[in-house]
Structure 1
Amino acid sequence: MTNRWSRVLKTPVGIAGVGLLTLVLLLAVFAPILWGDKANAVDTDNLLAGPSADHWLGTDNLGRDLFYRVLVATRLSVSLALLATALGTVVGVLLGTAPLLLGRRAGRLVTALVNLLVAFPGLLLVLFFAVVFGVGAKGAVLAIGLAGAPAFARLCQTLVAGVAELEYVAAARIAGVGRFRILLRHVLPNVAEPLVVNVTISAGGVLLSFAGLSFLGLGVQPPSYDWGRLMQDGLAGIYTHPLAALAPGIMVIVAGLAFNLTGEAVAGAFGMSAVTRFGQALQVDTGETPASDLRHDADADRDLVLDVRDLRVSFPGAAGPVHPVRGVSFGVAAGEAVGVVGESGSGKSLTALSIARLVEEPGLVDARHLTFCGTDLLAESDTDQLLGTSLAVVFQDPMTSFNPAMRIGAQLAEVGRHHQGLDRKEASDRAVDRLRAVRVREPERRARQYPFEFSGGMRQRAMIGMGLMGSPRLIIADEPTTALDVTVQSQVLALLQDVRREEGAALLLISHDVSVVSDVCDRVLVMYAGRIVEDLPTADLHTRAQHPYTRALVAAVPDMATALDAPLATIPGHPVDPAQMPVGCAYAARCPLATAVCREQDPALVADTSGRRVACWHAGEPIEMVTAEEATA
C-alpha cells in the first residue's frame, strides 16, 4: 500500500497534482488567518478600482481587495466541496453495501432506488435537491452530496458484489461472523483502493458544482463568500472590470485541476482496472431410496455426525426450476471418512455447500431430514454457533479462501474471538498453536504474514488450521488438492488424515479424482447428474463396483500397471445438463449397457444386505470400456 502511494509522486502528473493540491490546502488553512482582515477591510475611496500596486486585482463595490478575498475564499470553497464529497461518499457506501447488510430481498429495494436515481442527470438532481433543502451553504452541501451518492453507490455495489462471492467471505460466514463485521473486516478493506481513486477524481467535479450553485445564487449567501459567490458579484462589471469575475474562476480551475491531476495519478498508481473490476422448491420424483431403506436409519442415527435424507437444491431457470442436486441421501458416522466423486457438474460441491448452508438465493435448499450433530440445519436460528465451531470447511482454492488484506494469524484469531470468547492475545496464541498443529514451520512468524506470502500448500494448511480453531466434529474438504502439485497434494492428504485421527473428526472429502478418495476414505459416494448412483466401501471400489459409471471412472485413471502403449479408457459423451434432464436414467446416453428400460425409468438407489447401494438396472453386468481413440473415432 505504501509503495503504491509513493508511486503517485514518481510521475509528472502526480508531482504537479500533489503540488497544486498542497498549495490549495495551505491557502485554505492559512489565508483567512493571514489576510482575513485585509479581505474584509472597506475602502470607500477605491470603489470598483482597477488593478494597481496596492490592489493587484482591484476592488469590489465596497472597496475590498479582490486579491485577498479570492485567497481567503479558498477555505470556504474547499471545505464545502470536501464536505459534499464526504457526504456523497458516506451515503454512497451505505447504499452500496445495503444488499450485503440487509439481505437479498431488502437489498433489491435499495438497488432499485439507486438504479432509479442514476437514470436522472446529475445536474437535474442537484437543482432538485437544492430547491428541496433551500438556498444557502447547508442546502448546497446536501444537494451536491446526495446528487453524487447514486453513482458512487452503483460503483460500491459492483465492487462489494464481486468480493462478497469469494471464498474467504464464505469462510467468514461459516465461521459465524456477522454481516456487519464481514463488511468491515473482509469486504470494505478489499474495495477501498478503487473507492479512494473514485473519490479523489470526483472531488474536482464537486468543487466545480459548488461554485456553480453559488454563482446561480443557490449556494453561499452574503456576508459569507466563496469563489462562486465572488464570480456572481463580479459578473455585473465583467466588461469594465473583468478580473473581478475571472480571478475566482481561475482559482476554481486551478483547484479543480489539482484534484483531478491527483486523482489521475492515484488511478495510475493503483490501476484503474480496480475501479471497473470490481420461491419454493418443487417436489420431484427422484427415484431416491426411501428413508426407511437406508442403512443409517433407526438405531444407527444416534451415531451419525451428519444425516442427510432427500437433499434437493433448485435454481430458477428459463423453462422452470433447475435441480442440480436431486434427492441425495447419506450419513457420515463419527470418525468416518466419506468420499464423494464424480465429474464436474455432478453436484458434489453444491451438496457440500448445501450442508454448510452456503447456498444463497435464488438457490433453494430443501430436505426431508438434514441434521448435523443432532441439530436441524434447516432451522436457521439454531445453527450459526454450531457451524462456526463444530463444522470446518476447506475450500478448493486457498488463495481466494483468505482475505488478502488481512494477516493469516488475524484471520484465524477472528474465529477464536467470535466463537470462543477469547481476548486478542489468547486468540492470537490459539492461531499460532493451530498453525503449528497443521505443520506450518515458524508459526509465530507465519502468523504475521499475508496470504500472498504463503505457497499454495501452506495456504491450504492454514485453511485447515482455521477449521481447527474450534473442535470440529466434521471437516468438509471440497477438492482441497486440486490446485496443488502431486507432492504437496500428498502432504495435504496426509495432514487431513492426521487431523482426523487426532481430533476424532469425521471427513467428507469432495474430489473428481478417484485415486485421491481411495487413499483417504472409508466409503465412497459416486454422484452423477445430481444424485448418488452408487455407495460402496473404498476397498471394493476397484474390484466390486456395480454401476457402469463407477467402473468407467476407475478405469479412466491410469496406474503404475497401465501399459505405456495401451490407449487410455474414457467415458464417451458429455455430462447431462441439469436444465435438460432426460427421462429415465441420466447416464443411459453414455452407458454401454443401456436398454429401453434405462431410457424410460430412472432406477432407484437400492441397498443390498451388506449396506452397499446402487442405482442401475444392469448393476454388476460385464461391460467393455471405451478407449480414447474409439471415443473420438
Structure 2
Amino acid sequence: MSFTQRLRRTLRTPLGIVTMFAVFVLLVVAIIGPIFWQDTADRVDTTAIGRGGSAEHWFGTDALGRDIAARMIVATRLTLELTLGAVVIGGVGGFVLGTLPTVLGPRLARLVTALVNLLIAFPTLLFVLFLAIVFGVGTHGAVLAIGIGIVPTFARLIQNLAASVAGSDYVASARILGVGRFRLIVRHILPNIAEPVALFLFQAGAGILLAFSGLSFLGLGVQPPDYDWGRLLNEQLNRVYTHPESAVGPAVAIVLTGLAFNLVGEVLSQAGGRRGLRTAADRDHRATVPAPSDDPNGTAGDGTGPAPLLEVDRLRITFPGGHVAVRDVSLSVAPGEAVGIVGESGSGKSLTALAVAGLVPYPARVTARSITFDGVDPTAGARLGTSLSMVFQDPMASLNPALTIGRQLSEVAEVHLGHNRTQAMKRAVDRLRAVRIPDPEHRSGMRPSEFSGGMRQRTMIAMGLMGEPRLVIADEPTTALDVTVQAQVLALLRDVRTKSGAAVLMISHDIAVVSQVCERVMVMYAGRVVEELPTGDLVTGTAHPYTRALIGAVPDMTTDRGLPLVTIAGRPPGPGEDTPGCPFAPRCELATDRCHTDEPALERIDAARRVACWHPVITPPEARIETE
C-alpha cells in the first residue's frame, strides 16, 4: 500500500477527522480573520477600557478598549506565518547541513558532522536567545533566530536518515551509473526520508510556535503596532487575577494550535509508519595505492587469449585495527567469460566484487598493485557508466522503494544514453520484457514492494541491461529465492551472456549454483584465493582440501537420506584472527606441522588450475576424464 493510500485511510479515522477539522479552522481563521475583524481589533474605545469578558467582548478589552477576541483572531495569520517561516528556514538549513556529509569527501564530511555536534551540545534555548540578540529585536530577528536555532537538531536527524539510505544498494547502483551528487540526493535519498522529515517538521512547528510566543512575551519578538498571541499574552498578563479570561484566551490559542501541529505529525506518523528505512551504513570510501610484491604467480590467467576485460593484481582490503579482510587476491576475466567466486560467509568474496565496482564501504582501505576494468581504474573514481552492472544479493534493498520500477530503469537511459523521458521509459519496458516480466507496460508503473522476489531480481538484471554492459557482477543473486525461481534467474543470466556477449563475475556460497553459469571458479577462504579451476573439474579435479570439502557438503540425488548431512568440521577464522601458516590447517585432515607455520602461495599446477596448498590432491587428466 502506498503512502497516499495509507494517508487517506488514516484521515478517515477519528484522529484524522479531528486533525482535518483543526487544520481547516486554523486556515479559515487565518485567511478571513484580518478581512472581517481587522477594524474591530484596531478600534479604540475609551469608554470600554479594561473590561472583563461579556457577550459583546468574549475575552474583555485591553488598556485602549480594543476587543481582545478580535485581536486574537487577527493575530492568527501573523502567528502562523512566523511559525511556518521559521520552519522553512530550519528545514532548508537543516537539510543542506544534514545532506552535505553524504556527498562531500571524508574530511569535509567529518568537519560538517563535528560542527553539527558542537551546535547540538549548546542548549537550544540559549542559542535562540543569543541569535535573537544578534539579529536584533523584532519580527524578522525572531524568525531568523528561531529558524536557525532548530537547524542543528534538524541537521542531525537528516544526517542519520541520509546515512541509513546512502548505504543502500540502490544508492550504490546509482553511484556506479555515475548519477550526479545533486540528483543522487533529490532522486534517491530525499524521497526515502521525506516521511520522517515531514513528521519532524510538523511536530517541531508546535515547539516553534511556543518559542515565538515566548520571545514576543519577553519583548524580543513582535513589536507594536504588530501583535501575535505571545504579544497579547504579555499585554494581558497583569490582569490574570482580575480578569483571567483576558490572559487565558491567547494562552489557549497557543496551546490548541500547538496540539494541531502535533496532530498533523501524528497522522503522518501513522500513515508512514509501515515504511522502514534500511540499516545504517557508512559512506563508500575508495583509495588505491601501490602494493609492493615480487610474487611471480600474482597475476591471473595463463597469458594467452584476448586481453582481460577485468584484471585485478594483488588486491588487499584492510579495516581499522589492522584486520585484513582480503589478502593479495588476483583474478582476471576475459571478454564474454563467466567466472565464479565461491566460499563460506566471511571469505571476502563480496568485498572483492565491491572493490571491482569501487564500492568498498568506508572505513575499509583498498590497496592493489593494479585494478583495471575496460582500461580504467574503478577504485580511483573513474566513471564506469553502463559498461559495468551489478546485481546485488537483496533486490528489495537494491531497488528504491520510493520510485516506480519504470522510473528507476529509465534513469539509466536518461543519464548515460541521452534519452528523453519517453524514450527512456520505452527502453525500460523493452528491458523488462527481455527478462520475462509479464505485462511490462503495466508493471513498469508499479513499485518494488508490489513485485515478488524473483521479479525484483529479474528487474535488477533488466536495470543492468539498460545500457550495454561489458561485465555483469552478480553478488549472491539467488540466495533468497526458491529453487524454481533460482533456476529461472540462472537461466536468465546465461541468456544475457549469450545475447549480449557480456562477461559475468558471479559471487556465491553455493558452488553448485556457480557451476551452472561459469566456466571457471575461484575458491576463497579467509580472504585468500586457495584454488582456481575449470568448472568441469569441480567433481573430480579439485586439488585443495577445502574445495573438496565444499563439494562433499553438497547433497545430490545419490546422497543417502538416512545419513546426516556432511559438514566441514571447525569454523573459518573470525575477523582479526591472523594465525601463521595455512588458514585452513585447523580444519584440514591432511595438515602437517609445516601447514601450521608456513603459508602456501597460490601456484599453478597446470595451464588451467592454481592451488595454494602444501599437500594438494593432484588428479591426472585421464582420471578426471574417465570419472566424468
**TM exceeding 0.5:** yes
Selected match of 1:141 from 120, 140, 143: 143
Corresponding position: 1:364 with 2:365:
yes
| Aligned counterpart, 1:532 | 529
**Residues in 2 aligned to 1:377 and 1:264: alpha-carbon distance in whole angstroms:** 46
1:290 paired to 2:297? yes
Indicate yes or no: 2:509 matched with 1:518: no
How far apart are 1:81 and its partner, in Å?
Answer: 0.9
Q: 1:261 to 1:377 in 2, by over 3 A?
A: closer
Is the contact between residue 289 and residue 605 of structure 1 (CA under 8 Å) also seen in structure 2?
A: no
Matches within 5 A, 1:575-590: 575-590=572-587
Q: Partner letter of residue 297 of structure 2?
A: P
Equivalent residue runs for 1:2-41 within 5 Å? 2-41=4-43
117-126 or 47-56, which deviates more: 47-56
TM superposition shift of 1:169: 1.1
Worse-matched range after superposition: 329-338 or 118-127? 118-127
Equivalent AA in structure 1 for residue 373 of structure 2: F
Q: Residue 525 of structure 1: SS of its match in structure 2?
A: strand
Superposed, which structure 2 residues align to 1:36-435 within 5 Å? Answer: 36-271=38-273, 290-291=297-298, 294-297=300-303, 300=305, 303-317=307-321, 321-380=322-381, 383-384=382-383, 387-435=384-432
Distance 1:253 1:397, change over 3 A: same
Deviates more, 1:331-340 or 1:214-223: 331-340
Aligned to 1:461: 458
What amino acid does structure 2 have at the position aligned with 1:419? H
| Distance (whole Å) between structure 2 residues aligned to residue 275 and residue 435 of structure 1 | 26
> How does 1:462-611 map onto structure 2 within 5 Å?
462-611=459-608
Q: Which residue of 2 aligns with 1:625?
A: none
Q: Retained in 1: the 8 A contact 2:289–2:367?
A: no
Could you give the per-residue CA deviations for residues 176-201 of structure 1, whole angstroms, max 9, x where no partner exists? 11222111111111111111112222
Verify the 8 A CA contact 1:306 1:331 in the aligned structure 2.
yes
Q: CA deviation at 1:619?
A: 0.7
**How many residues end up aligned between the 2 structures?**
612
What code does the residue aligned with 1:338 have?
A: V
Deviation, structure 1 residue 544: 1.1
Inter-partner Cα distance in structure 2 for 1:470 and 1:193: 33
- Provide TM-score, normalisation by structure 2: 0.93
CA drift of 1:70 comes to 1.1
Whether the 8 Å contact between 1:288 and 1:310 is mirrored in structure 2 is: no
**Aligned to 2:473, what secondary structure does the other structure show?**
strand
The 2-side partners of 1:283 and 1:483 are apart by 38
Partner Cα distance (1:413, 1:232) in 2: 58
- One-letter code of the match for 2:171? V
**2:342–2:509 contact (8 Å) kept in structure 1:** yes
Check whether the contact 2:95–2:155 (CA below 8 A) recurs between aligned residues: yes
Query: Which is further off, 44-53 or 414-423?
Result: 44-53
1:562-620 Cα distance to aligned partner (Å, 9 max, x none): 22223432211111124111111111111111111111111111113423111100011
TM-superposed CA distance for 1:99, in Å, is 1.1
CA RMSD of aligned residues (A): 2.2
Cα displacement string for residues 32-83 of structure 1 (whole angstroms, at most 9, x for unaligned residues):
0111111111222322233344333222222222121111011111110111
Contiguous gaps of at least 5 residues in structure 1: 623-633
The alignment partner of 2:478 has SS state of coil
Cα pair distance change 1:273/1:480, threshold 3 Å: closer
**Partner amino acid for 1:59?**
T
CA change 1:276–1:535 in 2 (3 A) is closer
Note closer, same or farther for the CA distance 1:363–1:276 as it changes in structure 2 (3 Å cut).
Answer: closer
* C-alpha contact (below 8 Å) 2:569/2:587 kept by paired residues: yes
Equivalent pair of 1:289/1:604 in contact (CA under 8 Å): no
**What is the percentage of aligned positions where both structures have the same residue?**
56
CA distance in structure 1 between the partners assigned to 2:277 and 2:221 by the alignment: 31
Say if 1:194 and 1:272, in contact at 8 Å, map to a contact too. Answer: no
- Cα 1:296–1:133 change in 2 (3 A) is farther
- Alpha-carbon distance, 1:475 to partner: 0.7
Q: Do the aligned partners of 1:18 and 1:258 also contact (CA within 8 Å) in 2? A: no
1:462 corresponds to which letter in structure 2? T
CA distance in 2, matches of 1:429, 1:183: 25
Q: Which residue of 1 is the match for residue 622 of structure 2? A: none
- Deviations, residues 288-328 of structure 1 (Å, cap 9, x unaligned): 6534x64444x65x5211111101111112xxx21111111
User: Match for 2:269: what amino acid?
Assistant: A
TM-score in terms of structure 1 length = 0.92
Aligned-residue offset at 1:270? 2.8
